Every structure is written in C-alpha cells, then in structure tokens.
A and B are shown apart, each in its own frame.
Chain A
Amino acid sequence: MANEEAKSVTDTDRTVDQLSSGGVMFRVQDLDLYYGNFQALKKINIEIPARKVTAFIGPSGCGKSTLLRCFNRMNDLIDDVRIEGKILLGDRDIKDANMDVVRLRTEVGMVFQSPNPFPMSIYDNVTYGLRCQGIKDKALLDEVVESSLKKAALWNEVKDDLGKNAVKLSGGQQQRLCIARAIALQPTVILMDEPTSALDPVATGKIEDLMETLKEDYTIIIVTHSMNQAARISDKTAFFYLGDLIEYGDTDRVFSKPADPRTEAYITGRFG
C-alpha cells in the first residue's frame, strides 16, 4: 500500500494526501542510530502525520532530539554517527547518499533551542535561505520578507525597521524571526528543538499560539521538556526513553490514558 501511494510522489508533485491534514509526512522504519559504540536510537518505527503538531517528549538523553535531527540530516555534522534503517519523506529515503541534503533542508526547516539569528539585519536574516539558493529578485524577496514575518507574527513589531540588527531584538522576537527565516523557504516541515526553553512565559505563549496557526500550512515536529506544552499544542505525542520509542499516539489519549507505566510515570512527574 505504502509503495503504491508513495510512487506517485515526486519532488515537485506531491499527492494531495501527502500534504493534506493527517496524511503521512515521514515514515521511519527500523531506525538505529549509533554515536560511536553508543546506540542512541533503537529500532524506531514511527509515522509523522502531515499538517499536525507532533511532540517528542522524554527525559534528557532519551534520543528525541537525535531523532528530530535525522529529519533534516543535521546528524551528518557530527563525527562518528552511524544510522541504519529508513526515513521516508514521500518515496525518498532521506538517508540515501544521493539525497540532495541542501534541497532537503530547504524543505524541512529547523528552529533551534536558543534563538540564533545571524548578526545581520532582520531583512537579511529572512532572505538568507533564498539568497543562498541564488534568488536575487528584490521584488520577490520583499514579498517573502513581508509574508514570512506576518506568518511568524513578527511583522507589526519590526516592519518599520527591517534594517535593524536582528541581534538587538528580544529573545522571543529573535525566535519568531528564526521561524520566519525557516518559513521564507516555503518548507513542508518545521522541526522545533525545544523552541521555547530559552524564553519567558509571555514569549513562550506567543510561540505556542503561532504553532497553532502554522500547522494549517506546515507539518510541525517539536521536541519539548514541558508536559504542559506538549499537552496544549500537539496532536500526537511520542514518548522516548533510553533510545526506545515507548509510546506514540494521539496526545489526548497519551496524556489521559497512557498505555505504558513508564509514560505515566514521566508525564506525572515521577521521573525525568
């Protein structure tokens, strides 16, 4: 079934099902990941739905961020990493050596734990990804800057001073800028690695509200240490423990009737 469906999916032409709400965006099959001799992920099988928010939770070192970084091949940057199994985006295994990693990263955006705006203007931050792809059309860039900043709910705060150094923005604004920067490339997926852990509650609230609207257009995978956050914003929750995917299901169900005692212990705060 999967193959039939997947075959019609190409780079430029994705089936409606692929991108519509609830279709499968990523299909992870028997994924093992090793840092040297240490196995960080063990036989992971998970399907990430399109246009939903999927939360990865679990205690530190459980492998949730490692799995997140598999989706845009950021683990390539770490020496001595070995990955086995499959990660399918449509019919493409993104682990494939022939995979165009640059292209993949424009499709699968990422927002980091602490805001990391480049030390350049707001405008240049948002257009960075496009300029790296050789896009110089000023009218197009202007349009993208405005629409991306609007989608990231930052436009009204910065529209009068797009030449301002992004480093001078507040932490919450910086993180929304980083989201705008990722959106500018019109990705299909946005990965978020604890995007609010460096922010105050007000800024966190804004980012959470933002995710609610972003999932209409993008598939979002978020790693979070906050149970409340996962419960509030996600549709699906995956609980990881010591490199194993312990439990995965609808967020409401996972938080109300966890199937595994370890999940229950973690979400009720008894360990982690």
Chain B
Amino acid sequence: MSNVRDRIKPGAIKRRQVVDSIFKALFTAAGVLSALMIIIIFVFVGWKGVAPFLPVYGGEQQSIWSFISGMTWRPDQNPALYGVLFIVINTLISAFLAALVSFPVSVLTALFIVKIAPRPLRAFFTTVVEMLAAVPSVVYGVFASGQITKIVDTVAGWFGKTTFGGNSLLTVSILLAIMIFPTITVMSITSISAVDRNLELGSLALGASRTQTNFKVVLSAAKSGIFAGLVLGLGRAFGEATAVSMVAGNAMTGPTWNLFDITRTLTSTMLSGLKETTGLDYDIRFSVGIILMIIVLLTNLAIQYIKRKIGGVTND
C-alpha cells in the first residue's frame, strides 16, 4: 500500500486562511447586497406611496381616510377620486375564490401523483405540473382573454346574464385558479413525498385503509409544506398583474359581488395605464402597492394561524 502521508503537504495553513477569509467576505457581501435591495425597495415604495397623503404633496394632497375607505376609483374625474377599499375586497374575493377551487384540487392531485398513480405515470404527471408552473403569466393571460372569456360569456348566457366580452370576476378567478394550481401542487408533491414511510406503515398496521392513511396521516404529516404551497399560491394570486389586467375589466366602483360583472384588483389598478400617466395618478399606484404588501403579509399570518389549528395539536 502506497503511503499517502507523504502527499499531505505541511505549511499550507497561511494560504487556507486567506482563501477562507476571501470567501467569507464574498458571502457577507452577497448577503448585505440582497438585504440592501429589499430595504431600498421598501423605502422607495414606502416613500412614494405615503407621500400623496402628506402636506409636502401640495394642492393634490389626498385624504388617507378617503383612500382607505373609498369605493370609487375615478382618475378621470376632476378632482380625481382614489378609493381603494372596494379594490381590496375585489382582490380578496378573486384570490380566495381561486384558492377555494385550486387548493383542494392541487392537494388531491399531489396525493394522486405521489401515492396512487402507477409508478411510470408519476414522473410524467410531475413533469407536466412543473411545466405548468413555468408557463409565463402573459401566456395564461392570452389564453384567458381568448378562451376563458368565451366560456364565461356562454355560461353567463345560460343564467340570462351578459358580460363585458367575458371580462369578469369569474374569469379572473378561473385564470388565477389555473395559475396557482401548479404552485400549490408542486409544493404538495414535495412535502407528501417527504412523509416518513414508517408513518404510513404504522397507520396501515393499525387497520387503517389506504384512503384513511392518506387523509389522516400523510396529509397531516405533510401539512407544513402544503400550507407553504397555499401561501405561495395565494401570494401569486394576489400579486399576479399581467394576466389579470387582461381580463379584469377594471370596474370604476365596487366591490364586485356578481361573478359575471367586471372587477378591479390591486394589481390591475397599478398596472393599467402605468406608462401613460404621471403625477398623482402615478404616485398613488405606490400607495396601492403598500396596501397589496400589507394584504399578502396579513394573509400569510392568517394561514399560519389556520395551520396551527388544523390537526388538533396544541403546540406545533
């Protein structure tokens, strides 16, 4: 056996220390840079968004109360009316309708893919879902404005209703449901796959059926990842701008309760006409952005709370 001790060279300590400190500096720089970017964005959006409600804004200063409680968005009027409350409600309705449809379908799909589908089909289905997650939102938007609108318009006809070319709350919700489906499904697949097989065996050995095992043990063990998927999905539903703007119809007042009526979401408000406007009408979009971030944050907190409640465990 040849001697390896001879090849372990002494005296390289200095060089190793230098390399270590160079890399340490690189990692620190990367960390600081990304933290700085986030802070800069927050400060910029925060400042631009708050400014319209401060005296420094001059003659066009807005009342924070009428902004938060307003049910009309009329930049075309004089003076312009910027009330965001109905838009918040519209956003919540469309996102939650989407999640209501998409969440159970996604979780069941994930369960099917991981636990029920025959082995060769698993890889195929997983690939399809992952591809869906990678489709750019503008493609979904084109599909929605070209196809979903037609279907919604036809369905509306059955109920004796008319739509504005299919642009409606229902169209937005269907579009969002389709868009968040792969997000929630991929996360659910990952967390269901990670469930310890011993838990399943334990359940089966106690006389539980496959179905009981899947619903009572596998899903509750995969709870964290599934809810993380829901958080990401709702985040996407709240934050999706491009596709939603193509089919929302941008109602001037609201909230929109009728599924076949046009709606307006926070993102479609921020995006529509962004390029053609200046001054207050431009700055107020940052205020809408702040509201959007607050809603995403509150929703995440709410989901964390729900997650802890489900499963009947006192401390998680």
Kindly report which residue of chain B lies nearest to residue A123, judged by CB atoms: B312
Q: Which of B199, B202, B316 contacts A165 (CB 8 A)?
A: B316
Contact with B along A252-271 (1 / 0, CB 8 A): 00000000000000000000
Query: Known: A119-B220, A165-B314. Contact between A72 and B205, CB under 8 A?
Result: yes
User: B203 to A118, Cβ gap below 8 A?
Assistant: yes
Shortest Cβ distance from residue B221 to the other chain A in the assembled complex, whole angstroms: 5
Complex CA–CA separation, A114 to B202 (angstroms): 11
Question: Does A168 belong to the interface (CB within 8 Å)?
Answer: yes
Kindly report which residue of chain A lies nearest to residue B217, judged by CB atoms: A118
Complex CA–CA separation, A77 to B200 (angstroms): 11
Complex CA–CA separation, A102 to B211 (angstroms): 12
Complex CA–CA separation, A110 to B198 (angstroms): 12
Query: Known: A128-B208, A129-B206, A132-B208. Contact between A163 and B314, CB under 8 A?
Result: yes
Which residues of B are found within 8 Å of A131, using beta-carbon distances? 216
Which residues of A are found within 8 Å of B40, using beta-carbon distances? none
Question: How many chain A residues touch the partner (CB < 8 A)?
Answer: 32
Complex CA–CA separation, A74 to B203 (angstroms): 11
Which residues of B are found within 8 Å of A163, using beta-carbon distances? 312-314
Which among A106, A112, A119, A120 has the highest number of chain B CB atoms within 10 Å?
A: A119
Question: Does B69 belong to the interface (CB within 8 Å)?
Answer: no
Kindly report which residue of chain B lies nearest to residue A122, judged by CB atoms: B313
Q: Which of B205, B217, B221 contacts A105 (CB 8 A)?
A: B205
Contact with B along A58-71 (1 / 0, CB 8 A): 00000000000000
User: B207 to A121, Cβ gap below 8 A?
Assistant: no
User: A165 to B315, Cβ gap below 8 A?
Assistant: yes
Shortest Cβ distance from residue B267 to the other chain A in the assembled complex, whole angstroms: 37
Shortest Cβ distance from residue B261 to the other chain A in the assembled complex, whole angstroms: 44
Q: 8 Å CB contacts to B: which residues of A198-252?
A: none
**Stretch in A8-16, A22-30, A45-53, A177-185 with 4+ CB within 8 Å of B:** A177-185
Q: 8 Å CB contacts to B: which residues of A78-133?
A: 102-106, 109-110, 112, 114, 116-121, 124, 128-129, 131-133
Contact with A along B92-125 (1 / 0, CB 8 A): 0000000000000000000000000000000000
Query: Known: A118-B221, A119-B220. Contact between A77 and B204, CB under 8 A?
Result: yes
Which residues of B are found within 8 Å of A165, using beta-carbon distances? 313-316
Shortest Cβ distance from residue A197 to the other chain B in the assembled complex, whole angstroms: 13
Question: Does B139 belong to the interface (CB within 8 Å)?
Answer: no
Complex CA–CA separation, A130 to B92 (angstroms): 41
Question: Does A164 belong to the interface (CB within 8 Å)?
Answer: yes
Shortest Cβ distance from residue B216 to the other chain A in the assembled complex, whole angstroms: 7
Shortest Cβ distance from residue A118 to the other chain B in the assembled complex, whole angstroms: 5
Question: Does B78 belong to the interface (CB within 8 Å)?
Answer: no
Complex CA–CA separation, A181 to B196 (angstroms): 18
Shortest Cβ distance from residue A180 to the other chain B in the assembled complex, whole angstroms: 11
User: B207 to A120, Cβ gap below 8 A?
Assistant: no
Question: Does B209 belong to the interface (CB within 8 Å)?
Answer: yes
User: B198 to A118, Cβ gap below 8 A?
Assistant: no
Complex CA–CA separation, A181 to B217 (angstroms): 14
Contact with A along B216-259 (1 / 0, CB 8 A): 11001101000000000000000000000000000000000000
Query: Known: A106-B207, A128-B216, A129-B207. Contact between A116 and B315, CB under 8 A?
Result: no
Which residues of B are found within 8 Å of A104, using beta-carbon distances? 207
Q: Which of A114, A119, A120, A182 contacts B206 (CB 8 A)?
A: A182
Shortest Cβ distance from residue B1 to the other chain A in the assembled complex, whole angstroms: 28
Query: Known: A102-B207, A106-B207, A112-B202. Contact between A132 and B313, CB under 8 A?
Result: no
Question: Does B311 belong to the interface (CB within 8 Å)?
Answer: yes
User: A120 to B312, Cβ gap below 8 A?
Assistant: yes
Shortest Cβ distance from residue A70 to the other chain B in the assembled complex, whole angstroms: 13
**25 residue pairs from A and B, CB less than 8 Å apart:** A74-B201, A74-B204, A102-B209, A105-B205, A105-B206, A109-B205, A109-B206, A110-B205, A112-B198, A114-B198, A116-B198, A118-B202, A118-B203, A118-B220, A119-B220, A119-B223, A120-B313, A121-B313, A128-B206, A128-B216, A132-B203, A132-B207, A163-B312, A182-B205, A182-B206
In the complex, the 6 A-B pairs of residues with the closest C-beta atoms, listed nearest first: A106-B207, A129-B206, A110-B205, A116-B198, A105-B207, A116-B202
**A interface residues with partner B (beta carbon < 8 Å):** 72, 74, 77, 102-106, 109-110, 112, 114, 116-121, 124, 128-129, 131-133, 163-165, 168, 178, 181-182, 185
